Structure 1
Amino acid sequence: MTEKKKKTLAQSMGITRTVIRDPEESDIQLREDRIGRYFKKYLNKFVFDEFSPKFMEQSKAGDLMKGVPIPLRKKDLKAFAGGEGLPMLVIAENMTWVMGCDPHFKHTKDYVAILSKLYNYKLYEGMMKEGRDAAERGAMDDACIHFRAALCMKPDYLHAMYSYARACRAMYLNSRNEEYVGRFKAEALDYFELLTETHPRFAQGFYYLGYAYLNMGLYIKADLTWREFLRFSRNGKDKKEIRTRLQQLQGPVQIERGYNDVMSGRYEEGKARLEPFLNSQFNSWWPLYYYLGVAYEMTGNKSQAVASFKKVLTMNASHLETMKELVAIYEQEGDRENRRKYEKKMELIRKTQEEDQKAFKKEIEEEDKRLQEQEPENQEPEFIEDVKEESEEGSGRKRKIRRLDKK
């Protein structure tokens, strides 16, 4: 008789959704840095020097300090060079800024090693707390930099992962620049996903990830994600809100499944799912008519397909994919006049879009350059609530988190 395999803690609690990403995707020191371009301007505030032999001899991290450049602000230079010296916590804060601005900096690993030996977990908790304090002032660059530094110290640190994703979310919601919004939105989404994969019992990760999917029109993913939230959350108010959202999602989820049927070649199933919604509150959704048009076309009902595609164009007059479908149908039917009609429309729309895109691209690039070079004004405060330890795996303890400037 084979020995029964012992279950992990997660498995014993019914948690089977465990994902382990490669470090190149999960470690902020290794993964692509989508948003670092907006923080590197702060590195201009630092100059670099080295620890003195005497200082290294007296420090318990002295063996790690040799040859490592130390970041100093201009105001620190006199104290660092003078007899009174510079408190190590000031140097630690400077290292925090450098790591947070550029996790790929070649000495980030050295800073992590030094700070870990001197302060252990207390320092990255302090970084996170500094970040949250900055977020409450609306100083979101400051907040983001501290969260990123904490993630350099501990890539799977729940508090920093959640706070960083929340900060990125707040920052893209506050911007109108397409490039900036795209980068911060992608980073927020990726970190909410990574958070739920790394800490699958932490309910708030699923709460915000569900909204991210909803805003992208990914209704099935939003539905599944919010069901996980309900499974783990103890917040009655939030659970009531999400139950209402799930009720509202029932129709969109079925419509998206219909879209998926059509895209997968299950045209009859797609029609069966989608046709009931023609007489519903969702009959103003142009994609409903587009996918039904494709299903009709592929099942031989060309007249209904044409009617559906023309309906799309009354709602979204520049939808090129719909025009391509109409051109294909008219070409098959030998209707040269209508085929040329839509080909000309497509040519005109493409030309207009290219011109608009060119002009808009220049404007976006100029604004994005300004965002990279200038420090932003404070935005609306972002209050990131404390994470209860009871929501974390294998921990029932509560521990007070201190700022960097507190011993």
Structure 2
Amino acid sequence: MKLNRNLILALSLFAALGTACSDIAGSENEEEQQQPTNYTVAFTAQGSENESTDYIFNTEDLMSGSLSAEGIGIEQTGWRYMYEQNNTLFSVGYFDDNNAIAYELDDEGNITEKGRFVFENTLDLFGKADDNTALAMEVPRIDFADRVLHKIDINSVSIQGKENLRIWESKEDSLVAWPTDLEVRGGKLFVPFYKIHARGDFSTPQTDTAYVAMYSYPELEFEKYITDTRMGPIGVYGLFNGMIADENDNLYAYSSASLANGFTTQSKSSGILRINNGETEFNDSYFFDVEEEAGGKINFIEYVGNGKAVANIVTDDSQLWGSFSAGNEIHKLVVLDLENKTSTEVSNMPLHGGFYGSPWYVNDGMVYMSVTTSESAHVYKVDVENATATKGAEILGNKLKGIYDLN
């Protein structure tokens, strides 16, 4: 009996200690969960369009105070494209800088270099093949040349392979393909593109049809072209998201055909087509005439969830390439209901300028975006369900090229 009483006493003490440790661990976990999220931002310092400098740094707050790279930013060389995948941020050189540098967060949440690789010509396009593989494409601007697709191992930050693709060309018309997205789905690679003149001036004499080149993946054997004449070319130069996917893997392709977005001719309304999951043609019964519904042409679009997307809409289409000046206030923001084909303008959002890349961060029905006007630059948080915007932190620079959560 004495042994049993001692055993019971020991077990009771062990249980009490276990409960106390559990309470402490639970308290620590709760405290850790309540700590603010560290965001990583790609920041462009104030300066002329050709002389501005890019930086990368962390911030715990996007919605109050100000954002500045002074004293904390990791300076980047030259003008950069930014692309994020699988908690890895790629800073990719442009024109005469052929270095791609990958960054991640260390165990203390500090930005650290993960690796780098070198490419031959500018990588103008990025996309996700799978969690561990990114795609990037060299797109020569002049003459009839290969579009070189790179497979990039994100873990080792190295090029695993290259494939030369022509996508589309017509020597008779002196036209070549400019791709606007790289979408992998169901063993296929979808590459939407528009036609530009081979002399390299980015003129677009044919804008009456939407085009997608389809390849097998990972074999990269060309299979067919997907076309539709209900709208014009898919995507916009420098934004690499001509198609967006919803939760059900339906692909939505958008057309801008806007002078402000670089299209020298316009022949069809700005709109959206859909390729249903498991299919390889545009759905005959789906066309969303966004230009009619929203009162302007799409500059950029981002899928949020539950059939909703947010889109920058061009309100003044009188200036060629007008969308690419951060302070040129020609864009409004709308919420697009892709199923019901409706548009709702976002309240409390000023007219604003444009950007390159894909600089919006989506989290739990909210969209965080860099908004630059002729007077200032701020982060805005957009509540998609209610189509309202809230002004956040002031950007003490030109703009943010991206907002990321690398945790």
Same fold (TM over 0.5): no
Higher relative contact order (CA 8 A, sep 6+): 1
Q: Report the TM-score range of the alignment, normalised by the length of the smaller protein.
A: under 0.3
Query: Which is strand-richer, 1 or 2?
Result: 2
Query: Which is helix-richer, 1 or 2?
Result: 1
